[in-house]
């Protein structure tokens, strides 16, 4: 036996052993399971830190509003106030039922906040509502991640573990975005989703607001001889109002003599799109669970009013965080596009409804 023969046979043995281990045992999967689970454990610690920081922020805000026991108020909110979606295998009336449930939930949250933070202004209470909701969402995210992680560990489900590990980066990013968003709501600053209400604000000029639905107002102004009705949520507290009901009421009030309804909203951008791009199309630009959107569509179709949509593109994170410069540029572009649509498509002496959809925090 010479030397070269020796190392060739060693290599052969290693190859055979290696292929046996790779193909006929679970060892590689076990090792991956172990690697992914240690990665997930690290991320769960990070998520818990984010959740705790969110809670600290809420407590700080509640302390500022002279709440006696802010921790108790927070704990009484988190995990409660869920909404069970209505039966959908029997769709009759589903919108009515959903609207009823959503409004019930909003009402009970409002009452909870009112009872526990009695000495605050309306704007402060509205912002506190959102802070509590965000804290609730952070807890939910953390719980869901832990749920899948523990299932994976319990049943040695390495595919579940791998999926979770691969998704987690995005989940943590989202949680961070929610946590950052709290700062905007605490300071009462406009957020990216406020793009629609901001367009409405720029269009209204000096017009005076008139209340039309709960937390929703309209302005009456004119542009080159056309009568323009502008609907937005009532600011500067954090609310989206009831734009659907407002449109319905206004169209009925005008007896259907409206040339166009234009909805303006923030829209989720695709990865390849730039923040602040503005696009227009047809339909109701509004991202609610259904009731408000269908109210706009029904009001438009009842009288055969064309429905235009103008959207300002941004990412999920940008939509819930303080408004960036790029979004603001988009808002300015959108104002010009809405004006152009009005000039080009609404006959002189005709009237048009413009709806600024979104959360109006920080925008009067």
Partner 1 sequence: MAPDVMTIVFLAIMAFIISYMVVTALKSRQEPVKLKRTITVIKCSSCDHEQSRDFKEGDFVGKEEGQCPKCGGKLIVSAIYVEEIPEKV
Q: Does 10 bind partner 1 (CB under 8 A)?
A: yes
H, E, C per residue of 30-91: HHHHHHHHHHHHHHHHHHHHHHHHHHHHHHHHHHHCCCCCHHHHHHHHCCCCCCCCCCCCCC
Give the tokens for residue 196.
Answer: 């629609």
Residue 192 beta carbon to partner 1: minimum distance, rounded to whole angstroms? 10
Q: Which residue, 94 or 177, is less far from partner 1 as judged by CB?
A: 177
Q: Which residue, 70 or 194, is less far from partner 1 as judged by CB?
A: 194
CB 192 within 8 A of CB 314: yes
Residue 139 beta carbon to partner 1: minimum distance, rounded to whole angstroms? 25
Residues present in the chain in total: 364
Residue 297 beta carbon to partner 1: minimum distance, rounded to whole angstroms? 29
Q: Does 363 bind partner 1 (CB under 8 A)?
A: yes
CB 233 within 8 A of CB 197: yes
Q: Which residue, 7 or 82, is less far from partner 1 as judged by CB?
A: 7
Q: Which residue, 297 or 317, is less far from partner 1 as judged by CB?
A: 317
Which of 189, 207, 254, 279 is close enough to bind partner 1 by CB under 8 A?
Answer: 189
Q: Which residue, 192 or 291, is less far from partner 1 as judged by CB?
A: 192
Which of 196, 235, 330, 356 is close enough to bind partner 1 by CB under 8 A?
Answer: 235
Q: Does 40 bind partner 1 (CB under 8 A)?
A: no
Q: Which residue, 154 or 325, is less far from partner 1 as judged by CB?
A: 325
Give the tokens for residue 26.
Answer: 């679970």
Residue 5 beta carbon to partner 1: minimum distance, rounded to whole angstroms? 8
Q: Which residue, 12 or 151, is less far from partner 1 as judged by CB?
A: 12
Identify which of 35, 29, 115 has the alpha carbon closest to the alpha carbon of residue 68.
Answer: 115
Q: Does 190 bind partner 1 (CB under 8 A)?
A: yes
Site track for partner 1 across 291-330, x = CB under 8 A: ------------------------------xxxxx-xx--
The Cα 24–Cα 364 span in angstroms is: 67
CB 305 within 8 A of CB 259: yes
Helix 122-154 and helix 27-64, axial crossing angle in degrees, nearest 10: 160
Helix 291-302 and helix 243-253, axial crossing angle in degrees, nearest 10: 20
CA distance from start to end of the chain: 91
# of chain residues touching partner 1 (CB under 8 A): 25
For partner 1, the binding residues (CB under 8 A) are 3-4, 6-7, 10-11, 187-190, 198, 201, 206, 235-236, 321-325, 327-328, 362-364
């Amino acid at each position: 036996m010479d030397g070269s023969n020796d190392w060739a046979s060693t290599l052969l043995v290693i190859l055979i052993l290696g292929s046996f281990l790779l193909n006929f045992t679970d060892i590689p999967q076990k090792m991956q399971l172990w690697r992914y689970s240690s990665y997930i454990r690290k991320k769960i610690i990070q998520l818990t830190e984010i959740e705790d920081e969110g809670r600290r922020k809420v407590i700080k805000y509640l302390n500022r509003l002279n709440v006696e026991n802010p921790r108790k108020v927070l704990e009484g909110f988190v995990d409660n106030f869920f909404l069970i979606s209505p039966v959908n295998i029997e769709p009759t009336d589903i919108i009515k039922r959903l609207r009823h449930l959503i409004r019930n939930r909003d009402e009970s949250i409002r009452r909870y906040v009112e009872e526990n933070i009695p000495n605050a202004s309306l704007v402060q209470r509205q912002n506190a509502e959102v802070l509590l909701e965000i804290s609730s969402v952070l807890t939910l995210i953390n719980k869901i991640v832990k749920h899948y992680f523990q299932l994976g560990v319990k049943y040695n489900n390495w595919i579940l573990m791998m999926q979770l590990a691969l998704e987690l980066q995005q989940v943590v990013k989202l949680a961070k975005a929610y946590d950052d968003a709290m700062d905007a709501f605490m300071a009462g600053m406009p957020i990216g989703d406020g793009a629609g209400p901001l367009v409405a604000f720029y269009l209204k000029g000096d017009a005076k607001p008139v209340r039309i639905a709960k937390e929703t107002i309209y302005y009456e102004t004119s542009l080159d001889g056309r009568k323009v009705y502008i609907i937005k949520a009532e600011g500067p507290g954090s609310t989206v109002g009831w734009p659907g009901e407002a449109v319905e009421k206004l169209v009925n009030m005008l007896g259907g003599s409206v040339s166009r309804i234009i909805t303006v909203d923030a829209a989720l951008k695709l990865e390849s799109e730039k923040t602040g791009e503005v696009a227009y199309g047809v339909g109701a630009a509004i991202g609610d669970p259904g009731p408000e959107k269908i109210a706009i569509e029904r009001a438009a179709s009842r009288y055969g009013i064309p429905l235009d949509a103008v959207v300002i593109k941004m990412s999920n994170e940008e939509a819930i965080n303080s408004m960036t410069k790029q979004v603001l540029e988009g808002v300015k572009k959108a104002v010009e596009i809405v004006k152009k649509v009005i000039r080009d498509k609404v006959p002189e002496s005709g009237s048009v409804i413009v709806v600024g959809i979104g959360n109006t925090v920080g925008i009067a």
